[in-house]
């Protein structure tokens, strides 16, 4: 079996209730962290349950600028 690496573009809308926008922006990165080993393990169990012969070995994230979504403007 070979190892493969993919770079994907991910867009997320994170809704935060806070006293002000500055505080709300500060908490956004806390929910966008890479998954834990246990979470990757669960994902791999689901992959195997569907009969696919593949294992996710790691996931890394890089968070860019945090901007308001068009829906909140």
pLDDT per residue as tens digits for the range 20-73: 999 999 888 888 887 889 999 999 999 999 999 999 999 888 878 888 887 655
pTM of the predicted model, to two decimals? Answer: 0.63
Angle at 16 between CA 14 and CA 62, to 5 degrees: 40
Q: Which of 19, 38, 30, 39 is nearest to 66 (CA)?
A: 30
Question: Which H or E element spans position 70?
Answer: none
Compute CA 4 distance to the chain's CA centroid, rounded to the nearest angstrom: 19
Instruction: Please tell me what DSSP assigns to residue 8.
Output: -
């Amino acid at each position: 079996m070979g190892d493969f690496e993919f770079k994907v573009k991910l867009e997320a809308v994170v809704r935060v209730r806070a006293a002000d926008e500055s505080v709300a922006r500060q908490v956004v990165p806390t929910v966008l962290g890479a998954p834990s080993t246990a979470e990757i393990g669960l994902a791999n169990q689901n992959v195997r349950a569907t009969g696919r012969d593949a294992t996710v070995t790691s996931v890394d994230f890089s968070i860019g600028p945090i901007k308001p979504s068009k829906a909140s403007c």
